[in-house]
């Protein structure tokens, strides 16, 4: 097909870029792809609110970032309503089907190989995105579902230009766009992977969105489309045979429900943060790390700390190792297994854990602590209020003219999810169930609750961490990131940059990040790209190496070459109410602002 622009004027916005930071008294959308940012702007310009814009962005991302999220997956939408000053979460995380069992990824006691298991139907969780978005729209939106689908329908129908990130993910797919013919036909037509600049049209996906627009979410969870989903996830890899077939049934789809959850709320140096409770580990782990770090003067260069100093990075690494040790044992879906969230965040428990951090050396591999003595609810069920991990994933943040805020992270788990495209419908299915433990960990004798073992109807543990930052009871920033377990550390880095190091949102996003995701793990850090300022120096890395930290390369070498996350953020200036956005150059981030009922886009390349 020849390269051509769609006729829709709104979509052309993203081709004309200027600056990165945008300010507006009306609405701001910060997204990882400019076409999706334009879709959100279209809703705001038409009188919609942040929830309407979030729906449009999510559907558009299914078109332009199909490797990261879509209607075959799930996510967490963190919402703040300005009028009532309420903050809550629409949890559309995927669920295990009713026939799921704790040992299904280790049927003979030995875990399946991840590449095989994650590209078989066994890995597919019951998708929640469609039900989650529809629930948010019906309760708090202004526009109808069909309105918010319109930009995505046009994008899928008319096509868009493949950017370098999508092209790279097709080439470096680990085989996932090649295993199933429907997926290969879209992203490798004629056996040739799409390249940057190619035009991608997705007619099957456009028809699916038109079906949802006409008949609503029940068209996804019942009927012909539901039967196609069930049939598609019965595929397996030949090496696994019948053991790799999915266990989802029509009943699982029909009975899927979202949960409306209260956010997890914590405090750091006088600021308040609202984030994700379980089944995500994101909010708990971020708040735990902040609690461990609060006793160290991270922003004080006169005491040897400050951004990028050896002392600051050392205590950050140690806090990550301690928090991830607790995460591995204690955090899962607490609708199924009670999570000791009060104990994990109790000041006295945090004090015992922080005491393990020594400023002059790396600690030995820490074990999970025992938060039970500080948890009044330990052993009690924690039902949600039912009102009706991955290198990729995607995150976006939105504020509208009324001050409503959405911070939304969504995913199909691994890049390209299961690699299975539903035949005739054009969307990928997730491989979310591989976020569960492959080998059951429950052990009463060892005190291990098996918090993340597979169980029927259970949600797998997530790392997603959409976040709102408050000052004096009012939201001042919203942000989050993709990146599997590194999501947690990307959010931590940005939070410290904002609060301890006094950076603007754009500076906080641009700054190089540090990450450790295992108690025994090696540190990874960013560098080598000009926008990552200020850089982490070789002298700092040498100092960390002398303290015993691994993963930073050889002595005297730069050692920081990773890319960690992709944070998209908005800011509400408490002094004048101005709305600003900041995009991440780690992807093709874009900020779209609404001013005088017109939209303009600033793209970060």
Task: Write the pLDDT tens digit of every residue in 221-239.
Answer: 999 999 999 999 999 999 9
CA distances from 301 to 219, 268, 297, 501 (A): 58, 19, 9, 10
Query: Model confidence over 570-590: pLDDT tens digits?
Result: 999 988 888 999 999 998 877
- For residue 17, count other CB atoms closer than 10 A to its CB: 17
Q: What is the pLDDT of residues 456-508, one digit of tens each?
A: 999 999 999 999 999 999 999 999 998 889 999 999 999 999 999 999 999 99
Q: What is the CATH number of domain 279-385+476-546?
A: 1.10.246.130
Residue 596 has pLDDT above 60, yes or no: no
**pLDDT at residue 24, rounded to an integer:** 52
pLDDT for 521: 82
> The pTM is what?
0.91
Supply the residues annotated as catalytic: 393
Considering only 116-120, 208-212, 290-294, 391-395, which range has the smallest mean pLDDT?
Answer: 391-395
Instruction: Return the minimum-mean-pLDDT range out of 11-15, 25-29, 114-118, 601-605.
Output: 11-15
Query: What mean pLDDT is reported for the chain?
Result: 90
pLDDT band, residue 108 (cuts 50/70/90): confident
Judge whether residue 378 has pLDDT over 60: no
Distance between CA atoms of residues 8 and 14, nearest Å? 12
Reported as a pLDDT band with limits 50, 70 and 90, residue 151 is: very high
Calculate the CA dihedral of residues 3, 9, 10, 16 and round it to 10 degrees: 70
What are 303-341's pLDDT values in tens digits? 999 999 999 999 999 999 999 999 999 999 888 888 999
Chain segment 522-536, per-residue pLDDT in tens:
899 998 889 999 999
Query: Which pLDDT score, from 0 to 100, does residue 319 have?
Result: 98
Among residues 451, 236, 411, the alpha carbon closest in space to that of 331 is found at 451
Instruction: Give per-residue pLDDT as tens, 199-225.
Output: 999 999 999 999 999 999 999 999 999
- Those residues with Cβ within 8 angstroms of residue 232's Cβ, 6 or more apart along the chain or in another chain: 121, 420, 421, 422, 423, 429
CA angle 179, 200, 160 (to 5 degrees): 140
Q: Tell which phi-psi region holds residue 601, choosing left (phi > 0), alpha (psi between -120 and 50) or beta.
A: beta
* Average pLDDT over every residue of 124-144: 98
- Residue 25 pLDDT level (bands cut at 50, 70, 90): low
- Each domain of the chain, given as residue ranges in start order, spans 10-260+389-449+458-465+568-603, 279-385+476-546
Q: What is the C-alpha to C-alpha distance for residues 332 and 346, in angstroms, rounded to an integer? A: 19
In the predicted model, is pLDDT for residue 263 greater than 80?
yes
- Quote the pLDDT of residue 594: 64
48: helix, strand or coil: coil
Q: How confident is the model at residue 602 (pLDDT cuts 50, 70, 90)?
A: low
CB-count burial class (<10 Å; 0-12, 13-18, 19+) for 84: exposed
Of 21, 12, 11, 33, nearest in space to 395 by CA:
33
């Amino acid at each position: 097909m020849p390269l051509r622009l769609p006729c829709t004027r709104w979509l052309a916005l993203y081709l004309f870029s200027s600056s990165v930071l945008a300010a507006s008294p009306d609405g701001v959308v910060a997204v990882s792809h400019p076409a999706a940012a334009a879709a959100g702007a279209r809703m705001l310009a038409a009188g919609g609110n942040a929830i309407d814009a979030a729906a449009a962005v999510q559907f558009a991302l299914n078109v332009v970032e199909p490797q990261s999220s879509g209607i075959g997956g799930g996510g967490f939408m963190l919402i703040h309503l300005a009028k009532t000053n309420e903050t809550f979460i629409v949890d559309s995380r995927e669920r295990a089907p009713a026939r799921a069992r704790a040992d299904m990824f280790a049927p003979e006691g030995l875990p399946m190989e991840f590449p095989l298991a994650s590209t078989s139907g066994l890995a597919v969780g019951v998708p929640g995105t469609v039900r989650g978005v529809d629930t948010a729209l019906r309760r708090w939106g202004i526009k109808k579902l069909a309105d918010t689908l319109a930009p995505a329908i046009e994008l899928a129908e008319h096509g868009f230009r493949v950017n370098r990130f999508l092209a790279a993910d097709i080439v470096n797919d680990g085989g996932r766009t090649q295993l199933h013919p429907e997926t290969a036909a879209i992203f490798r037509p004629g056996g040739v992977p799409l390249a940057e600049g190619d035009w991608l049209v997705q007619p099957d996906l456009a028809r699916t969105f038109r079906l949802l627009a006409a008949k609503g979410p029940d068209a996804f969870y019942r009927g012909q489309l539901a039967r196609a989903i069930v049939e598609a996830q019965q595929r397996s890899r030949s090496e696994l045979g019948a053991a790799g077939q999915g266990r989802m049934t029509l009943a699982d789809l029909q009975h899927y429900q979202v949960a409306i959850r209260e956010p997890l709320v914590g405090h750091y140096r006088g600021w308040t943060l609202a984030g994700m409770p379980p089944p995500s580990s994101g909010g708990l782990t971020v708040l735990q790390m902040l609690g461990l770090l609060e006793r160290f003067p991270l922003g004080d260069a006169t005491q040897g700390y400050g951004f990028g100093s050896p002392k600051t990075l050392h205590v950050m690494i140690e806090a990550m190792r301690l928090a991830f040790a607790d995460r591995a044992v204690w955090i899962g879906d607490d609708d199924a297994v009670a999570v000791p969230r009060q104990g994990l965040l109790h000041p006295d428990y945090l004090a015992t854990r922080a005491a393990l951090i020594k400023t002059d050396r790396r600690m030995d591999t820490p074990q999970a602590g025992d938060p039970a003595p500080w948890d009044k609810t330990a052993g009690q069920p924690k039902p949600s209020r039912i009102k009706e991990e991955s290198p990729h994933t995607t995150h976006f943040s939105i504020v509208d003219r009324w001050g409503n805020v959405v911070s939304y992270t969504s995913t199909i788990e691994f890049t390209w999810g299961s690699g299975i495209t539903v035949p005739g419908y054009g969307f990928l299915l997730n491989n979310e169930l591989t976020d569960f433990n492959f080998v059951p960990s429950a052990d009463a004798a060892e005190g291990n609750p098996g918090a993340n073992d597979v169980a029927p109807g259970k949600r797998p543990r997530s790392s997603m961490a959409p976040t709102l930052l408050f000052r004096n009871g009012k939201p001042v920033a919203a942000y989050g990131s993709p990146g599997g377990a590194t999501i947690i550390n990307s959010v931590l880095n940005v939070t410290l940059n904002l609060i301890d190091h006094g950076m603007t949102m754009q500076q906080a996003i641009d700054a190089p990040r540090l990450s450790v995701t295992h108690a025994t793990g090696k540190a990874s850090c960013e560098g080598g790209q000009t926008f990552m300022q200020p850089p982490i120096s070789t002298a700092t890395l040498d100092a960390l190496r002398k303290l015993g930290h691994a993963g930073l390369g050889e002595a005297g070498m730069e050692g920081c070459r990773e890319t960690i996350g992709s944070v998209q953020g908005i800011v509400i200036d408490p002094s004048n109410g101005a709305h600003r956005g900041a995009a991440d150059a780690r992807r093709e981030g874009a900020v779209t602002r609404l001013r005088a009922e017109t939209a303009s886009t600033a793209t970060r390349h």
